[in-house]
Structure 1
Amino acid sequence: MAVLKVTFSKTKRDKLAQVLWFLNWVSVVTGMILLSLGLFLKVEILQWQQLMSKREFHSVPNMLISVGLIACGINFVGGKICYDCVDTNKFLRWKLLMLPYIICTFFFTFCLLVGALMCYSIRNDLEESLFVGLHDALRHYKDTDTPGRCFLKHTIDMLQIQFQCCGNSGFQDWFYIQWVSNHYLDMSRAEVVNQLRSNVEGKYLTDSVPFSCCNPSSPRPCIQHQVTNSSAHFNYDYQMEELNVWRRGCRQALLEYYTQIMQSIGLTVLIIWLFELSVLTGVRYLQTAMENVLRQGNPDSESDGWLLENSFAETARYNFNIIKNLGKCYQVDDDPNIDVPSTIQHELDNVPPKQIPVPS
């Protein structure tokens, strides 16, 4: 029994073909949207890639770019097919390609769904990557004269200014690393030497933060040095007063930024997936309805269209048997009791024996 069978008249088939022609051209536009979203996401990831420990996040934008390009091509062909389906004679040119086209479109829509799910499932990996990457980046903040890390200080400063954040999890992260290079430490000062000697690893650790952590909207000058020393500043209480440095960590800021982008892109891809699924359903109805018209031989007669010619269970069983028996036609059975057709056996019996020349 056919699944979701619908009867189409000649007028309804023509209207369906015209609507699908228009929707396929709309799908070309949605393919361009997917391509643009993939390029945008790729640029955003590349912008802060230095602050990530893993590099596999490009799989999401790469998939969106690939799916967008495929959407433009496959829907362009679909629009041409639907336009020709108004005429039965023109449909004959596409009859053998309709089923492969529908199968390819089905896998394309499946890739769309996978891409949307990837946008929602990448958050945990992204958080872990940002945590490790930012931790390493803060440690190398001072290495402005080291090849490969020359611009890392600029990147972190721009990150903290743009996202209004400080440190990895908070501004206290700067207290546990040496973020000032030894080139800019005055070794003639006793307090600097004592600070270096007091640390087991010989690092210059202070309760200070870089200037980029300062909140420009604060009414008082930025307190970036001796942040925890209330007596070092006039009318200042570290425990009670609201600090004029950003409290939010950059990991949380970046995570929220990328999560918002991923959720927006994922929602857009899901909407496009539903739209493409509806177009694919319409093309399937048009294909089966036109094939039934060809069987009847009257282009003006009514015809039935369906999603599946048989039930889901029968279709699955039929396809499973095809896959199971796919390789059997290439197997050779050595059983001597196998029945050979009489015509083939007769030809084998009448084959003359090969003449072997006898040397004189």
Structure 2
Amino acid sequence: MVLPKVKFDQKKRVKLAQGLWLMNWLSVLAGIVIFSLGLVLKIELRKRSDVMNNSESHLVPNSLIGMGLLSCVFNSLAGKICYDALDPAKYARWKPWLKPYLAICVLFNIVLFLVALCCFLMQGSLESTLAHGLKSGMKYYRDTDTPGRCFMKKTIDMLQIEFKCCGNNGFRDWFEIQWISNRYLDFSSKEVKDRIKSNVDGRYLVDGVPFSCCNPSSPRPCIQYQLTNNSAHYSYDHQTEELNLWLSGCRAALLSYYSSLMNSIGAITLLIWIFEVTTTIGLRYLHTALEGVANPEDPECESEGWLLEKSMPETWKAFLESLKKLGKNNQVAVEGADEGQAPEAG
């Protein structure tokens, strides 16, 4: 049983070849789009690399860049094959390589689908990456005099301003770390000494936040210190002053940003994958239609094109049998090699 079967005459074969030639060159442009999307995502991740403690987050953009390059190569080659299919002499050169090439195209489409799927599934690992990275970055906020960490204050401040967020999960995260450098603390002050002594780790903790947590939409000047002390400020209630600080944490804000970006990239990649699968199916029909020409000297004769020479169950059964035969042949070869070995000298 042939699945599914389509009859082609010379005119239909020419139209199919011309249509596939155009589709393959459009697929080259699609490959450039995939490459560009991977590059954009990689650049965006690099921008926040200081608050992302995981190199695995670059797996998706690297895969997109690689698949984009492969798409350009494969579809350029397929376009050349479709162009040469109109000339029997030129097509004869491609004929022995078409089956392996189609198998590679099928493998390429499977991998492209998995990459598109990863754009949606990698968001879970991205959340943990951001959580650990932001927590680590906030600890180094005060180290403005330490080589390699002196830039972290600016990074965190710009992040909180750009994404309108504060802390990891919220502004209270700043209460748990010493974000003010010892360089700017007066250790002769009783208040400073008492705060340091009251902490087990000897850290200077305050119920305050950096200036970058302030919301410019607040009608009153920003309150950064003694945030939970209502009596320290006139007409102030920290539970109702919602406009004073950014309430959302930077982890949620960044995750929302990257999730939206990766969902868009995943959707575009899936659409391109559908187009690539359609092109591969068309190339298979062209291949079988040209193979089915009974008399090459009569180009006007009809031929049949199909996707699978047999039904799906029969094709799967034949594939499994070929794997079994391959395994038996390898086993026989190994046993033959073992029997042919000379006995070791006693």
Distance 2:238 2:322 in 1: 75
Q: Paired residue for 1:80? A: 80
Deviation string for 1:183-212 (max 9, x for gaps)? 110122211111111112111111100001
Matched, 1:197 2:202: no
> Normalising to structure 1: TM-score of the pair?
0.90
Q: Paired residue for 1:36? A: 36
Shift of 1:329: 4.3
Equivalent residue pairs, number: 334
Write out aligned runs for 1:132-211 (5 A): 132-211=132-211
Q: Paired residue for 2:14? A: 14
Distance 1:158 1:295 in 2: 72
Name stretches of at least 5 consecutive residues in structure 2 with no aligned partner. Answer: 337-346
Provide the secondary structure at the position in 2 that maps to 1:101: helix
Q: Paired residue for 1:232? A: 232
Distance 1:265 1:10 in 2: 40
- Determine what percentage of the aligned residue pairs are the same residue: 52
Deviation string for 1:266-294 (max 9, x for gaps)? 00000000000000000000000000115
Shift of 1:147: 2.5
Larger radius of gyration: 1
Shift of 1:317: 1.6
Q: Paired residue for 1:354? A: none
Distance 2:201 2:314 in 1: 72
Alpha-carbon contact 2:295-2:301 (below 8 Å) kept? no
Runs of 4+ with >3 A deviation = 294-297, 327-330
Alpha-carbon contact 1:285-1:307 (below 8 Å) kept? yes
Alpha-carbon contact 2:10-2:300 (below 8 Å) kept? yes
Deviation string for 1:78-130 (max 9, x for gaps)? 00100111223322121111111111111111111010110111111111111
Provide the secondary structure at the position in 2 that maps to 1:70: helix
Alpha-carbon contact 1:88-1:299 (below 8 Å) kept? no
Q: 1:329–1:132: structure 2 CA closer, same or farther, 3 Å change rule?
A: closer
Write out aligned runs for 1:1-360 (5 A): 1-293=1-293, 298-329=298-329, 331=332
Distance 1:306 1:250 in 2: 54
Distance 2:94 2:47 in 1: 46
* Amino acid in the other structure paired with 1:239: Q
Distance 1:58 1:200 in 2: 39
Shift of 1:22: 0.3
Distance 1:318 1:297 in 2: 33
Provide the secondary structure at the position in 1 that maps to 2:34: helix
Alpha-carbon contact 2:167-2:173 (below 8 Å) kept? yes
Alpha-carbon contact 1:175-1:208 (below 8 Å) kept? yes
Distance 1:97 1:294 in 2: 20
Alpha-carbon contact 1:215-1:246 (below 8 Å) kept? yes
Deviation string for 1:302-357 (max 9, x for gaps)? 110000011112111222222221254462577xxxxxxxxxxxxxxxxxxxxxxx
Distance 1:118 1:47 in 2: 21
Shift of 1:243: 3.9
Name stretches of at least 5 consecutive residues in structure 1 with no aligned partner. Answer: 335-360
Distance 2:109 2:169 in 1: 40
Distance 2:328 2:121 in 1: 42
Provide the secondary structure at the position in 2 that maps to 1:192: helix
Give the stretch that moved more between structures: 155-164 or 140-149: 140-149
Shift of 1:159: 0.5
* Amino acid in the other structure paired with 1:76: S
Distance 1:319 1:51 in 2: 48
* Amino acid in the other structure paired with 1:24: N
